[in-house]
């Protein structure tokens, strides 16, 4: 498995865990649970981890794409990519 496919799997895992998080946070009508304080805390914590998986994966993939496009591998490129991830 290459690095790019691992990053795609990481993003897919982050997206799927976000779906599960939002179903419990909702809660979905087909899940027979009642919303509680502990469920909200657990769902928000899992949501933070899943968002982190997506952000790390997309930053690594955009950095690899910038290197393919012959951007220098220096601080200026990192700042450009970080600013792009903040504003999009």
Determine the structural domain holding residue 30 and report its residue range: 3-87
pLDDT of residue 87: 54
- Total domains present in the chain: 1
Q: Which token pair is 46?
A: 């899992």
Characterize 19-35 residue by residue with b for buried, 16 or more Cβ atoms within 10 angstroms of its Cβ, and e for exposed: eebeebbeeeeeeeeee
Q: What is the pLDDT of residue 75?
A: 86
Between CA 70 and CA 57 the distance in angstroms is 20
Over residues 14-72, the pLDDT tens digits come to 999 999 998 888 777 888 888 889 988 999 999 999 999 988 888 888 888 888 999 88
């Amino acid at each position: 498995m290459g690095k790019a496919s691992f990053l795609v799997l990481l993003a897919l895992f982050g997206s799927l865990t976000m779906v599960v998080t939002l179903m419990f946070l909702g809660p979905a009508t087909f899940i027979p649970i009642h919303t509680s304080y502990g469920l909200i805390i657990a769902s928000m914590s899992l949501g933070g981890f899943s968002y982190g998986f997506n952000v790390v994966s997309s930053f690594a993939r955009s950095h690899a794409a910038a290197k393919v496009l012959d951007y220098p591998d220096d601080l200026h490129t990192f700042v450009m990519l970080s600013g792009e991830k903040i504003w999009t």
